[in-house]
Amino acid sequence: MSSSHAQSEEVFALVDCNSFYVSCERAFTPKFRGKPVVVLSNNDGCVVSRSNEAKALGIKMGVPLHHIKDLVKEHNVYVYSSNYTLYGDMSARIMRILSEFTPELEIYSIDEAFLDLKGFDHNALIAYAENIKETIYKYTSIPVSLGIGPTKVLAKLSNKVAKKTPTGVYSILHESDPVKTLKEFSVEDIWGVGRKSAEKLKAKGILSAFDMINATPSLVREMLTVVGARIQDELKGKSCISLEEAPKKKKQIVSSRSFGDLLTDIEPIKEAVANHATRLSEKLRQEGSVCNSFQVFLHTNAFRNQDVQYHGVATVNLPFGTNETNLLIGYALTAVESIYREKLNFKKCGIIGMEICPHDEAQLNLFADNKAELFRPMIKVMDEINSRFGTQTLKFGSCGVRKHWEMRADHKSKCYTTRFQDLVVVN
């Protein structure tokens, strides 16, 4: 693999969309450009994306909406619920543009991609990066920043500098004084160093990225395991985290959500579980996979000190791999009954599909009647109807109608790019 090459030849770029969710909303409501805008998490709980104007007002990442109610009112901050249909489609457009600049592309998250720019003319790299940035803005109205470095960790760090640079591009490879840059970053700014690891490092006097480079390797390894050792090498310019071009096969698929309000009775909880089982089965079918086991969990709100706390988990080993909605709902409802406890205030439930494998490689079970085959044609018809007339047009009765448990989304924008009836009208 790449180990046969000199490590110094590696060049990575990290492309990161600026305030991605906010930028997606603004792309379709230009009147909010230059204004404070925030996007909320699921359930309209807390702030997950902020425009620069919102940041300037002191609105912090992750703050609950009601904490900033006065600020929102006073400064006319525009508030959106999350619209993942819109963000997912905008993301796909950006990734498609990037893939025209280089096929060696790793889609790292909804708003980030690593590019392998090894072999590009060193002197032309910065101009190339600026061209990428301008092209994306021209076609999508989404502003991005590019950070360039000899390793992914350093490209990530460079991107943080790029975010504060007028051109939106920065390369530590082209920096005349990289030590100065490295000293400006605290250890928790490093990709892969979280709160806990930062505490341990700081206790040993390792405060900046530069300090971490110069720390004793055995000490770093002892404190942060092999993960930390790898990060230290990457900081030194030795590439050990490679580009993952093919998306990895999912090992587990989760569908979970907090309830809009606390729940105590089992009936609405069972409805929520049935909906999660439905969602899991849909995700499995999209991947062409089945799961051979799953877990159902149900827990109380850990933030409520006055409540009795409980975290129930039930694991179900299926007699055969399946992605059939009705079968998964059936097993999931039995499982939730086994972990339900009376008189508690429940906050969240969910289902985790495990032992996932492609549908055509599913293990057959000699001793169990494989009922999955029987239901396949019915499920196929349901998928077709739901795809044509909208999700949830056809669903199982156990999923309920009134949805006492459903999350809040009071400020959602339209699906401008994926629904004909939501297309923007030009006067």
Interacting residue ranges for DNA, rule: CB under 7 A: 41-43, 45-46, 48, 62, 64, 66-67, 108-112, 156, 190-198, 225-227, 248, 250-258, 279, 283, 301, 303-304, 313, 315, 348, 350, 407
Amino acid, single-letter form, for residue 100: E
CB of 232 to DNA, least distance (A): 14
For the bound state, the minimum distance from the C-beta of residue 420 to DNA, rounded and expressed in Å, comes to: 27
Of the pair 11, 231, the CB lying nearest DNA is at 231
Which residues, at least 6 apart from 103, have a Cβ–Cβ distance to it below 8 Å? none
Pick 210 or 294: Cβ nearer DNA: 294
The Cα 38–Cα 18 span in angstroms is 13
Closest separation in Å from C-beta 296 to DNA: 13
Residue 148, helix vs strand vs coil: strand
Residue 253 or residue 277: which is nearer to DNA going by CB?
Answer: 253
* CA neighbor of 309 nearest in space, from 335, 345, 262: 345
Task: Please report where in the chains the tokens 């889609």 appear, as a residue.
Answer: 107
C-beta of 96 vs 196, nearer to DNA? 196
Spatial distance between the Cα atoms of 356 and 288, rounded to a whole number of angstroms: 10
- The β-bridge partners of 253 are 353
Q: How far is the CB of 315 from DNA (least distance, A)?
A: 6
Q: Which helix (H) or strand (E) holds 234?
A: helix 217-235
Distance CA 374, CA 376 (A): 6
Nearer to DNA, 256 or 413 (CB): 256
Smaller CB distance to DNA: residue 128 or 320?
A: 320
Q: Are 46 and 62 within 8 A, CB to CB?
A: yes
CA distance 36 to 59: 10
* Shortest distance (Å) from residue 411 CB to DNA: 14
What's the min distance (Å) between Cβ of 138 and DNA?
23
Query: What tokens appear for 186 in the block?
Result: 């605290």
Dist CA 271 CA 258 (whole Å)? 13
Name the minimum Å distance from CB 191 to DNA: 5
Closer Cβ to DNA, 36 or 350, answer by number: 350
